[in-house]
Amino acid sequence: MHIKKDGMEKIRIFKNIAGFEQRFKKYNWLYSIIICASFLPFISPAIALFIGLVLSISGIRHENIHKYTSKILQASIVLMGFGMSLGAVISSSKTGFIETIVSVTTVMLLGIMLGKLLKVEKNISLLIATGTAICGGSAIAAVAPILNSKNYQNSFALIVVFVLNAVALFLFPFVGHQLGLSQETFGNWAAIAIHDTSSVVGAGAIYGEKALQVATTVKLIRALWIIPLSLVIAFMNKGGEKKSIKFPWFILFFVLAIVFANIFPNFQESYSHFSWLGKRGMVIALFLIGSNITVSEIKKSGPRSFALGIILWAVIASGSLFFLTR
């Protein structure tokens, strides 16, 4: 009798799993339609993100497409490089260099001190501080193996950064317009104060063409700081095993695309198509990011971890804005 009962329970669980799979497959066509519509000119990054959030809140999720979000984002950034001026990139790099040094150092030190004050676990504090200082989820993923952090610690840090990224996409363009920030100032501010590259590019795209170029360039150059920062963390993490640092290769390809387009200007028409495709790919990436945010993930991160992330974010956002507009 007991064996029969266990068998019935397994069948019930299997049916539930099958039901969930069918529910996901039922909505796959909707994702396909929205992705195709993302190539239309009136679907802006903000609209794509909003549609994604609506689907997520409604419980409408794709079976497995979200695993390609990062690849789509990286490919889009590389393609956008074909539409950028090398001179503008060099100028943006010089402008954001000092701000990057100051902000990275400040956020890391403040993150460690606040983590102790709020009694947040050391690894979680370092991961959140790294994600805030450099490039969000990518920085966390690069540093996590060096810290030998546990899965739940990585999850907490990623969720905090991910949620604040979603807020920044809407908040930063609104604040920028209210303060009357120029395209270049907003681009630098977004690159410094917003965690993840995807949200930086999204906010820049919402604000304007020039803001998008500045934000993307400064953020990608800023992302390279994950290499020296990882070496410092590895040195400070006594007793830990030596771990390799994952280099963000798409940044190198982005730079090569800019250089190639400026050295061989005769193919300008093709470069324009590549750049357009990159911008449309960014719209798709933002839709997928929005559709992958869940309320349950927000609840899992814990109030102290969230408090740490919000304080660090507020400090870097207000500090960098003051520095850029003084």
> pLDDT at residue 15 above 50?
no
Who contacts 35 (Cβ-Cβ below 8 Å, separation ≥6)? 284, 287
Residue 110 lies in a domain: yes
Residue 3 lies in a domain: no
Chain-wide mean pLDDT for the chain?
Answer: 77
Tens of pLDDT, residues 269-296: 888 888 888 888 878 877 887 777 666 6
Q: In the chain, what percentage of residues exceed pLDDT 90?
A: 10
Rounded to whole angstroms, the Cα distance separating 52 from 49 reads 5
Q: In the chain, what percentage of residues exceed pLDDT 70?
A: 74
C-alpha of 138 from chain center: 7
**Looking at residue 238, what is its pLDDT?**
57
Query: Confidence class of residue 50 from pLDDT cuts 50, 70 and 90?
Result: confident
Residue 7 lies in a domain: no
Rounded to whole angstroms, the Cα distance separating 30 from 157 reads 31
Residue 274 lies in a domain: yes
Query: Confidence class of residue 323 from pLDDT cuts 50, 70 and 90?
Result: confident
Query: Confidence class of residue 245 from pLDDT cuts 50, 70 and 90?
Result: low
Residue burial 69-103, b: 16+ Cβ < 10 Å; e: rest: bbebbbbbbbbbbbbbeeeebeebeebbeebbeeb
Residue 11 lies in a domain: no
Residue 120 lies in a domain: yes
Residue 5 lies in a domain: no
Rounded to whole angstroms, the Cα distance separating 316 from 35 reads 34
Residue 1 lies in a domain: no
> pLDDT at residue 209 above 90?
no
Amino acid sitting at position 245 = I
Give the chain's domain count: 1
| Domain extent for 60 | 38-325
Rounded to whole angstroms, the Cα distance separating 156 from 297 reads 9
Q: What is the rounded average pLDDT of the residues 20-43?
A: 72
> pLDDT at residue 181 above 70?
yes
The better pLDDT of the pair 273, 241 is held by 273
Q: What is the rounded average pLDDT of the residues 199-228?
A: 82
